[in-house]
Every structure is written in C-alpha cells, then in structure tokens.
Amino acid sequence: DTEVTQTPKHLVMGMTNKKSLKCEQHMGHRAMYWYKQKAKKPPELMFVYSYEKLSINESVPSRFSPECPNSSLLNLHLHALQPEDSALYLCASSQDIRVASGGEQYFGPGTRLTVT
C-alpha cells in the first residue's frame, strides 16, 4: 500500500470555525509533512514530523496547529482562519526525513480548503 489518504477532500469554513484535516499512511514511514499550495504555485512546506516529533515549523501562524497522534496519523487543526488561508493542503510521508536516506515523498490528494 503506497497510498496517503486525506480527509475531507473539500472543506468550507467560516473564520470563527474550528476544523481539522486528517492524513493517514500505512507504509511504515517515519516522516510526515504538511504543505500548503495556492493556485498555480508550488507547494510550501509548513510542518515536518519525524518519528512523531515536530521537527520543523516553517514560521506558520498559530491558527494552524499540527498533531501527530501516532506514526500513521497526522492532523492539522484549524482555528480562526483568514480568507487568504484558502488553498490546497497537502499531506506527505517519507521513509526518513533525510533525502539521502529515503526522502522520497508520497503525497496525498490534498484537502481543498475555502475560508469564507
């Protein structure tokens, strides 16, 4: 199974709502990532978890809160978002955080988020 699944596929939320995005992989990967992608732009790295510990936080606003409950699951909790946060949110996983040690990333299909 080389699949990364993400739910929901689409999400519309108001600026006062609280919602969560979910990501799951069963490849035994120990690194998991959250990316944000705006239309016609490349993915931008947000968070990296390595062995279930937050390794990198790319200066993301606190209204985005990641969580890694176990080695297969990754959540992104959303609260008080702004319309400019509307984007495609991608989850990815890799065998290891180091590119040279299996850093090939497997991406999920993404969650299309719209903030109204």
Q: Where do contacts with other proteins occur on this chain (CB under 8 A)?
A: 4, 31, 41-45, 48, 55-56, 58, 88, 90-92, 97-100, 103-110, 112
- As measured in angstroms, the least distance from the Cβ of 106 to other proteins is 7
User: Which C-beta is closer to other proteins: that of 49 or that of 85?
Assistant: 49
User: Which C-beta is closer to other proteins: that of 1 or that of 16?
Assistant: 1
- As measured in angstroms, the least distance from the Cβ of 99 to other proteins is 4
For residue 110, CA distances in Å to 10, 11, 69, 98 come to 9, 11, 19, 23
User: Which C-beta is closer to other proteins: that of 17 or that of 95?
Assistant: 95
> Which residues, at least 6 apart from 82, have a Cβ–Cβ distance to it below 8 Å?
15, 63, 115
For residue 84, CA distances in Å to 32, 52, 97, 100 come to 24, 29, 29, 35
- Provide the CA 24 distance to its chain's centre, in angstroms: 10
CA distance 4 to 79: 24
- As measured in angstroms, the least distance from the Cβ of 81 to other proteins is 21
- As measured in angstroms, the least distance from the Cβ of 16 to other proteins is 28
User: Which C-beta is closer to other proteins: that of 44 or that of 67?
Assistant: 44
